[in-house]
Amino acid sequence: MPQRKNIIEQAKEIFGAFLLKNGYRKTAERYSVIDELYAQDEHIDVDNLYLWMKNKEYSISRATIYNTLDLLVECGLAVKHQFNDRSALYEQALTYRHHDHLVCNICHKIKEFSDPRMEEIKNMIGTELKSQITSHSLVFYGDCTIDSCENK
């Protein structure tokens, strides 16, 4: 990932401006969450992010991670997903383009996709049901039909 560093720097600048604008403080913990969230290649939940950071000798608590992720979501630097009734998953959002997810019923691997028809459906349903639709969550669940899935 040659340009990931730049992305992280960019994210930190945006975050700094956001903190300033809202009178929040710039703490080392908050910036470290950006570093480590943006270091992930996959969606990650709070507990795994916490363990990951502990493992890297960071001194941070779960509470602070929760708090910081909320801030990151608020300023658009992170996206939160709730795929099932378990823990929420987060991913970086600076280079994010909206996509939806396909979750394998057996191995629970997550694949991403995007379909332009979703926008059309949103517009149409929004008009029909008199709602200004602000976001959506779409998850497909299915059985992999390829060998890379661990269900065979």
Rounded to whole angstroms, the Cα distance separating 54 from 115 reads: 38
> Which DSSP string corresponds to 39-50?
T-SS-EEHHHHH
Contact between residue 99 and residue 37 where contact means Cβ atoms under 8 Å apart: no
Q: Which residue has the tokens 């996509």?
A: 99
Q: Is 97 in the site for a second copy (CB under 8 A)?
A: no
151 binds, among DNA, a second copy, none (CB under 5 to 8 A by kind): none
List the structure tokens of 19. 């903190």
Pick from a second copy, DNA, none: which does 99 bind, CB < 5 to 8 A by kind? Answer: none
Question: What would the DSSP string read from start to end of 71-95?
Answer: HHHHTTSEEEE--SSS--EEEE-TT
Stretch binding a second copy (CB under 8 A), from 12-20, 32-40, 89-97, 135-143: 135-143
CB of 50 to a second copy, least distance (A): 18
Applying CB under 8 A, among 111, 119, 150, 152 the residue interacting with a second copy is: 111
Residues 103/114, Cβ–Cβ less than 8 Å: no
User: Residue 83 CB, nearest distance to DNA (Å)?
Assistant: 11
Q: Does the footprint of a second copy cover residue 129 (CB under 8 A)?
A: yes
Rounded least distance, CB 23 to a second copy, Å: 25
CB of 12 or CB of 62, closer to a second copy: 62
Output DSSP code: residue 52. Answer: H
The residues that bridge with 112 in the sheet, in sequence order, are: 101
Interface residues with DNA (CB under 7 A)? 19, 23-30, 45-47, 59-64, 66-68, 70, 85-88
Closer by beta carbon to DNA, 85 or else 147: 85
